[in-house]
Amino acid sequence: MAIDYESLLQRGFSKIPEKAFKSSKYETPKAEVTVIGSKTIINNFKEVASRLNRSPNHVLKFMVRELATSGTLEDARASLNGKFSKEVVDDLIVRYIKAYVLCSSCNKPDTKLVREDRLTFIACEVCGAKNPAKTLI
Ligand SMILES: [Zn+2]
User: Is 4 part of a structural domain of the chain?
Assistant: no
Range of the domain at 125: 103-137
Judgement on whether residues 61 and 121 belong to the same structural domain of the protein: no
- 58-91 per-position pLDDT tens digit: 999 999 999 999 999 999 999 999 999 999 999 9
**40 & 70 share domain:** yes
What is the domain-level CATH number for residue 54? 3.30.70.3150
The pLDDT of residue 10: 62
Looking at the structure, tell me whether residues 125 and 113 fall in a common domain. Answer: yes
- Gap from CA of 38 to ligand 1 centroid (Å): 41
State residue 27's pLDDT score.
83
Average pLDDT along the chain = 88
Strand locations in 37-87 (E): 39-42, 71-74, 77-81
> Do 88 and 35 belong together in one domain?
yes
Same domain assignment for residues 61 and 111: no
Domain membership of residue 67 (yes or no) is: yes
Distance 51 CA to ligand 1 centre (A): 18
The predicted structure's pLDDT at residue 21: 47
28 membership: H or E segment, kind and range: none
Task: Provide DSSP, 73-135.
Answer: EETTEEEEES---HHHHHHHHHHHHHHHTS-TTT--S-EEEEEETTEEEEEETTT--EEEEPP
Total domains, the chain: 2
Find the 123 Cα to ligand 1 centroid distance in Å: 8
What is the 18 CA–ligand 1 centroid distance (Å)? 14
52 and 86 co-located in one domain: yes
CA of 76 to the centre of ligand 1 (A): 30
CA of 131 to the centre of ligand 1 (A): 9
CA 22 to ligand 1 center in whole angstroms: 14
Based on the fold, state whether residues 54 and 110 are members of the same structural domain. no
Q: Let me know whether 97 and 32 are in one domain.
A: yes
Is 110 a member of any domain?
yes
Q: Tell me: do 96 and 114 sit in the same domain.
A: no
Q: Give the distance (Å) from ligand 1 centre to CA of residue 55.
A: 20
With respect to residue 55, please indicate whether it lies within any of the assigned structural domains: yes
This prediction has a pTM of 0.79
Which ranges of the chain have pLDDT less than 70?
1-26, 137
